Chain A
């Protein structure tokens, strides 16, 4: 009994102090709260029928985005904890173990469980509408992708209060993360959670690749696609090629840890650097996976709010293709310091610099999209406008980092930390915020408040610069990343304090955004037109939010900026009135994806704690749910014409 008590104390981390106790209490209260609200308002059936079992890309997109915003909160809180600990020399707010776990979860959550679901959320929200189809190519698979991501995110977050979080950094370099140096379940959480969400992401890549290739409306040639759809198309290709490498790397490392093999160990002929190479062969394309869709979003936003078509469309496409190809031949720049020799370092240094060329082309094309335009500084446009200088600083310091001898001085210093926050926040996060303000009315039929939006932008943007610009200097001053504290006397203290202040401003900006969501849900301006920005692409042709079937009739596309052309020609999206509607073929909802992901979660927990019976039960459940799908014949239905007419009439579109 005593033994069990000791084990449980350790397992549930009750011996780890108030940080964990507080989290436990908050998690329990939140869970009780959610269950109570759902039960009191009798919402369980509504939740199951409308959301948990849906295969509708629009709802899946919304669920991705809700999850991404929650994870932004979690990752942001991690960031604030780190900043609090670093605010002054010799702080003891967090101890080394807690700090190590928190920087690991901060990075992992921000990349895999915030940036990824956010951009994939917008794939779902916008792409089928932009290309004029009724859902993605594989709606059922799409639901599986989402629920795998969700199960993985839950599993990963659980690590904070059960068993301990991973502490090897989001890059999780071997041999440190091998059992010899880093025992316990923490690192397994990282490997298993990324593996599960990675499967979902590969499926998403395949799904959108096929959707964009096969399901465009008649007349929408590739070179007539909106730029966001182009970015998703190229991103999907990168996903399909890059993610399997991560799958392999994670699997080999998990086999090392769970079954005692020696792929990446120091002893018995393992090769630790092999893991580092595999990780970055995925890891570098991964940063383009999260930035290219942001480029697509900015292209839409610049064009819409400059009231002009995108400048240099073909060059934009070609430059994205070039970036995609180059993204696979630059990975060694993450570890020029591995002593690979001057030939290797020179090649990867110059290939990295070359990425600046297509990226520069894009920046100039955005600037010249604004040329001779009429710029409206809406919240969405502010994020796009703010993106250019901030991303420029991030991108150009990236070129400085690409110089191998200079990189020997920057590697793992705060110069690097600043660089990648400038590209990931200045690029991806600004892009996600731009897209949230831009597509919010399309998702919910309500506009976010512009005044609060501007507060959000300025607080976050100024806070971001206060937090991260001084880090370039900290790098020159010799401060390295992942130190949990530092002595006085290096001159780092004041700079760190200023940065912490900036981080708090970013946090306040986020709270303004959260308040904006709540405020707008209640009082926000309703979008009855479906086209609140007088925009150019097809998603604005349908109602806000779009009906289940997206378009009552699939439109005929006559050129780029299809909806703009229709508006200029005075055409209706529903086509000539005298042609009757036809029944619409739609996929059935299914509860199986969420059940399958539950089994993935169970199997994942089994692999994390090396409880093999649990792992076998979970994997068996996965196989059974897969097999059952094969025997499902009634998987679609038709929406009758009367229902379409009723929906369209209600929207005033008949």
Chain B
């Protein structure tokens, strides 16, 4: 039968995906969504795996029935005179395949709702994060304002009084309250290794909680098309130990120029720029 080639291919791809997902083999580098580096991404990852397992059960079930029907009941010269029976339906079977999806949906819906509510609160470092890198981290969240410009990312640290462009440093092991807004079209703020995205909307402040388990650099980008320079709207998230983070803030304050009105205006002019930092967050 011809479909057997496809069956094999699908099977391999499915197994491949499960391997990637379950073992995380070398996926840290290339598959940030499947190798979460913080509590937010991790709870999203668990839901992805759970929904994938449920869907895999459905796929396998349907594929078995599907290939059975396709092979068993195909027209052959031997069954040329076979007249198929006219079957109206079968209420017992139809009930079964209505009830099973209902059960699956419930099994998926309960953790979904629980995690949806959980993610609006600051992440609590779970057991898996008990790493030395986070020793001494404060559980007090740090607030960072994220402004998407055409086409760059501006990060303001209101408490520290500094500003960075196209990169953001955060203390590892500490919840970060990203306050997202936009000075132009919408974008979404996405750091796949740390957690899912949310809109930067003009005239609104949306809160996105993220946290990194360990020190490290994580790729971020915009997920919402916003014009010509959108493809280059990437940024780095550098998670540092709290001590290193404090030191970095001091270095920025001492070595970088203050944000002038001119520099601020230039940031809101359409175009792409490299990484920048300023020792003040409000233009002077």
Supposing A176-B186, A337-B198, A396-B58 touch, asked if A475 and B33 sit within 8 A by C-beta, the answer is yes
Question: Given the complex, which residues of A lie within 8 Å of B82, measured CB to CB?
Answer: 374
Within 8 A of A (CB), among B18-71: 20, 27, 29-34, 41, 43-44, 47-48, 51-52, 55, 58-59, 62-63, 65-66, 69-70
Q: How many angstroms from the CA of A168 to the CA of B90 in the assembled complex?
A: 49
Identity of the chain B residue whose Cβ is nearest the Cβ of A314 in the assembled complex? B89
Q: Which residue of A lies closest to B185 (CB)?
A: A176
Q: Which of B241-272 contact A (CB under 8 A)?
A: none
Which of B108-116, B123-131, B133-141, B162-170 has 4 or more CB atoms under 8 Å from chain A? B108-116
What distance in Å separates the Cβ of B207 from its nearest Cβ neighbour in chain A? Answer: 7
Q: Which stretch from B152-160, B218-226, B274-282 is at the chain A interface?
A: B218-226
Residues in B206-248 with C-beta less than 8 Å from chain A: 206-208, 219, 221-231
A313 B226 Cβ-Cβ under 8 A: no
Contact A364 B97 (CB under 8 A): yes
Q: Which residues of A contact B17 (CB under 8 A)?
A: 472-473
List residues of chain B with CB within 8 A of the CB of A399: 51, 55, 105, 108
B94 with A361: CB separation less than 8 A? yes
B8 on interface, CB distance cutoff 8 Å? no
The answer on a CB contact under 8 Å between B30 and A313 is no
Nearest chain A residue, comparing its CB with the CB of B7: A389
Given A400-B51, A491-B30, the answer on whether A273 and B201 have CB atoms closer than 8 Å is yes
Q: List A contacts of B44 (CB < 8 A).
A: 405-406, 408-409
Whether the pair A385, B51 counts as a contact (CB closer than 8 A) is: no
Q: Which of A24-32, A184-192, A237-245, A480-488 contacts B (4 or more CB under 8 A)?
A: A480-488
Interface of A is mostly: helix
- Give the interface centre of A480, A483, A485 by most chain B CB atoms within 10 Å: A480
Of A314, A373, A465, A472, the contact of B73 (CB 8 Å cutoff): A373
Tell me how many residue pairs across A and B have CB atoms closer than 8 Å.
268
Taking A376-B75, A405-B116 as contacts, is the C-beta distance between A411 and B223 under 8 angstroms?
yes
Closest to A374 in B: B75
Decide yes or no whether A624 CB sits under 8 A from chain B: no
A309 and B108 CA atoms in complex are apart in Å by: 35
Contacts of A476 in B (CB 8 A): 20, 27, 31-34
* Given A342-B117, A392-B59, A412-B197, 17 additional A-B pairs, CB 8 A: A100-B225, A175-B184, A306-B84, A361-B101, A376-B75, A389-B6, A392-B58, A396-B55, A403-B48, A405-B43, A405-B44, A406-B48, A411-B223, A472-B17, A477-B33, A478-B192, A483-B230
The yes or no answer to A372 lying at the interface (CB within 8 A) is yes
Q: Is A306 touching B73 in the complex (CB atoms < 8 A)? A: yes
Interface-lining segment among A1-9, A349-357, A515-523: A349-357
Which residue in chain B gives the minimum CB-CB distance to A561? B86
Q: Considering only CB atoms and an 8 Å cut-off, how many residues of chain A contact the other chain?
A: 91
Selected A-B contacts with CB under 8 Å, 8 pairs = A168-B225, A175-B185, A338-B201, A354-B105, A360-B97, A367-B69, A480-B222, A483-B231
Interface residue tally for chain B (C-beta within 8 Å): 93
Do A176 and B105 form a contact, CB below 8 Å, given A361-B98, A482-B230? no
Q: Which of A439-467 touch B at CB < 8 Å? A: 458, 462, 465
Q: Which residues of B contact A396 (CB under 8 A)?
A: 55, 58-59
B195 at the interface (CB under 8 A from A): yes
Measured CA separation A403–B17 after assembly (Å): 19
Tell me if B231 and A353 are in contact (CB < 8 A). no
Question: Chain B's nearest CB lies how many Å from the CB of A531?
Answer: 17
Q: A396 vs B101: C-alpha distance in the bound complex, in angstroms?
A: 11
Min distance, Cβ B28 to any Cβ of chain A, angstroms: 12
Tell me if B52 and A375 are in contact (CB < 8 A).
no
**Can you list the 3 inter-chain pairs with the closest CB atoms, starting with the nearest?**
A408-B196, A176-B185, A339-B206
Residue pair B186, A272 in contact (C-beta under 8 Å): yes
**Interface core residue of A168, A266, A335 (most chain B CB under 10 Å):** A266
Proximity bits, A149-181, B CB within 8 Å = 1, else 0:
000000000000000000111000101100001
Measured CB to CB, the nearest residue on chain B to A96 is B228
Closest to A271 in B: B203
CB pair B201–A389 under 8 Å, yes or no, is no
Q: Taking A337-B196, A337-B197, A408-B198 as contacts, is the C-beta distance between A373 and B89 under 8 angstroms?
A: no
A375 near B70: Cβ-Cβ < 8 Å: yes
Within 8 A of B (CB), among A584-600: none
With both beta carbons as reference points, the residue of chain B lying nearest to A462 in the complex is identified as B6
Residue of B nearest to A370 (CB): B69
Quick one: given A337-B188, A409-B196, are A403 and B75 in contact (CB under 8 Å)? no
